[in-house]
Amino acid sequence: MDFDATDDPVHGEQEGSYYHGYYRQYMYHPLLVFDGESGHLLCALLRAGNTHASNSSVALLKRIISRLRGRWPEVEVEIRADAGFAVPALYDYCEAEGIAYTVGLITNPRLQGLAEDLLDEAKASHEEKGEKARLFSEGLYGARSWEKRRRVVYKAEAMEKGTNTRFVVTTRTDKPDDLYEFYAGRGEGENWIKDLKLHMKADRLSCHRFISNQFRLLLHAAAYWLMDALRRKLLRVGVRRMQLDSLRLRLIKIGGRVRELLTKIRLHLASGHPGQDLWHALSGAFGAVHE
């Protein structure tokens, strides 16, 4: 599961809206959880605008784990998240429940010291070859708020624009380069969030009451889920992947006539409709018959 927080700007006096120093705007701060392999949206929790990225993440994880293991007792679960979720409560819960985790860490002087030799090696390689150098390693690290030291994988880069170091705390046993590539895969979540916020209009939370906006967020999440289900069906029959706004315009936002008959529901569309090939493909994907 990929945990992520996103900004949702507000334009009025909605309950729970606050100024957020990082985003420099008045906003809500929803918590989103996706299946990291498929992009399936698992949960969308609305939070106040001044909420820390990790707030409610452990409570929500407990609820999700309870539901998953209630249905599939032997299921293996792991989470992936950026540095906003780097809090001891998350590590402790995951370790107690046997949940693997890979979480980014905010760079600090002690971590920089851990990667100092590797960064020097990357800089030397860049100066010698004149091309970008990207190296990986690992070590044990323990912050003051942690009860024990944990495995940290780090990356050191040297390039024309300068140097770059990144750190990830994890319970996975992959080699450092493979582990970091796995962590970097969470970047795909930005596209899923874009689909939800922009294409399914989940940023239109304009009710005054906070609970009303939470319900609206769930409605947008349901719309995402339904459209994503249609997209998956089309992918299985060879249709290229589309953003949800393109799919909505070509498949849903069209004129037509629906007739409910005794044994079937018949959909009448114009014979020149440009999206009719998608409808034929979708019909085949569901095992239906089109006339």
pLDDT band at 171 (very low <50, low <70, confident <90, very high): very high
More confident residue, 269 or 135: 135
More confident residue, 52 or 291: 52
Check residue 288 and give its pLDDT.
63
Check residue 289 and give its pLDDT.
56
Check residue 280 and give its pLDDT.
84
Query: By the 8 A CB rule, do 108 and 127 touch?
Result: no
How many Å apart are CA 241 and CA 233, to the nearest integer? 10
Tell me what the mean pLDDT of segment 246-252 comes to. 89
How many Å apart are CA 103 and CA 152, to the nearest integer? 10
CB neighbour list of residue 249: distance below 8 Å, 6 or more residues apart: none
Greatest Cα-to-Cα distance within the chain, rounded to the nearest angstrom: 77
pLDDT tens-digit readout, 144-162: 999 999 999 999 999 988 9
Report which residue type is found at 12: G
How many Å apart are CA 16 and CA 213, to the nearest integer? 10
CA distances from 130 to 115, 137, 141, 164 (A): 21, 22, 32, 16
CB neighbour list of residue 200: distance below 8 Å, 6 or more residues apart: 220, 223, 224, 227, 244
pLDDT tens-digit readout, 88-99: 999 999 999 999
Q: Which residue shows structure tokens 């989103």? A: 32
Query: By the 8 A CB rule, do 146 and 105 touch?
Result: no
Q: What does the chain look like in DSSP terms, one character per residue?
A: -EEEE--EE--S--TT-EEETTTTEEEE--EEEE-TTT--EEEEE---TT--TTTTHHHHHHHHHHHHHHH-TT---EEEE-GGG--HHHHHHHHHHT-EEEEEE---HHHHHHTHHHHHHHHHHHHHHSS-EEEEEEEEE--TT-SS-EEEEEEEEEETTEEEEEEEEES--S-HHHHHHHHHGGGGHHHHHHIIIIIS-TT----SSHHHHHHHHHHHHHHHHHHHHHHHHHHHTTPPP--HHHHIIIIISS--EEEE-SS-EEEE--TT-TTHHHHHHHHHHTT----
Q: Which residue shows structure tokens 């020149």? A: 272
How does strand 257-260 pair with strand 265-268?
Answer: antiparallel
Report which residue type is found at 271: S
pLDDT tens-digit readout, 188-198: 889 999 999 99
| pLDDT above 80 for 130 | yes
How many Å apart are CA 76 and CA 72, to the nearest integer? 9
